[in-house]
Amino acid sequence: MMKLARYLHEGHIRYGILEGDTLHELESTPFSGIEKQGRTCGLDEVEILPPVFPQKIIAVGLNYRDHAEEFDLEMPDEPVLFMKPPSSLLAHDGEIIYPPMSKRVDYEAELVLVCGAECRNVGAAEAPAYILGYTCGNDVTARDLQAKDGQWTRAKSFDTFCPLGPFIETDVDPGDLAIELRLNGEAHQSSNTANMAFSPLELLSFTSRIMTLFPGDVIMTGTPSGVGEMFPGDTVEVLIAGLDPLRNSVIQR
């Protein structure tokens, strides 16, 4: 079990292993073998960045049975995929900017799978070998624009609409993890990854039969019931058992 971080230190983007409050810098990226290179620094000396900078952020609509029941929707027989652009990434502790185009911005707590190797046509049974680890994500959504546009690109893609992090936890079994979203300290979503229709391994396999996934690409595995609205001034947290919590605030510019 390792905690991997990506951070800004002395003007450079670096990857490291977090042990206690100490970051052990890696030789290179975590995708080319995880080797400490000897240099360390304190967590308080760096700016934490999203734990990867993916080429692709794949997301899944409607993957928790409790979320489908909440909206009285049928579960799809195959995963329904969409994408968010890497420009929507936001680090732990970063500010979600409420866009002037929207009047309804929602949180969606999600477990996020991080690919560790190039994968194409991977079976679910082989999928673990292609996974670097897991982190927390918030699939921020302009719900009014999602309904108005009839497809999801605008609603899901504003800058800052993809908080991710703070760290990648390796060796996580994703099958039975408590997942919770807290808004201003109060629980609003509370479920378990056991309620997913398609497991993270199945999602990786399915996606890899459509497009090649590269190291650092991520799959957001869907959100449970209890989605709701956020307002400027709010603090939103995604908590998943075994992972460090992801916290962000909402601001209006």
Residues that bind Mg ion (CB under 5 A): 108, 139, 223
Residue closer to Mg ion (CB basis): 16 or 222: 222
Contacts of 151 (CB under 8 A, 6+ apart): none
Residue closer to Mg ion (CB basis): 34 or 59: 59
- CA–CA separation, 206 vs 81, rounded Å? 10
Q: How far is the CB of 143 from Mg ion (least distance, A)?
A: 11
- CA–CA separation, 16 vs 37, rounded Å? 9
Query: Is 103 in contact with 132 (CB distance < 8 Å)?
Result: no
Of 112, 57, 60, 65, which is closest to residue 240 (Cα–Cα)?
112
Which amino acid belongs to residue 172? Answer: V
Output the residue with the shortest Cβ distance to Mg ion: 139
Residue closer to Mg ion (CB basis): 108 or 217: 108
Of 138, 14, 133, 47, which is closest to residue 88 (Cα–Cα)?
138
Residue closer to Mg ion (CB basis): 34 or 62: 62
- CA–CA separation, 120 vs 8, rounded Å? 32
- CA–CA separation, 230 vs 182, rounded Å? 11
DSSP annotation of 215 reads T
Q: How far is the CB of 21 from Mg ion (least distance, A)?
A: 32
Residue closer to Mg ion (CB basis): 139 or 169: 139
CA distances from 29 to 7, 35, 88, 103 (A): 12, 9, 22, 40
Q: How far is the CB of 169 from Mg ion (least distance, A)?
A: 20
Q: How far is the CB of 173 from Mg ion (least distance, A)?
A: 22
Of 21, 16, 19, 24, which is closest to residue 42 (Cα–Cα)?
21
Q: How far is the CB of 22 from Mg ion (least distance, A)?
A: 34
Residue closer to Mg ion (CB basis): 170 or 223: 223
Query: Is 14 in contact with 182 (CB distance < 8 Å)?
Result: no
Residue closer to Mg ion (CB basis): 63 or 205: 63
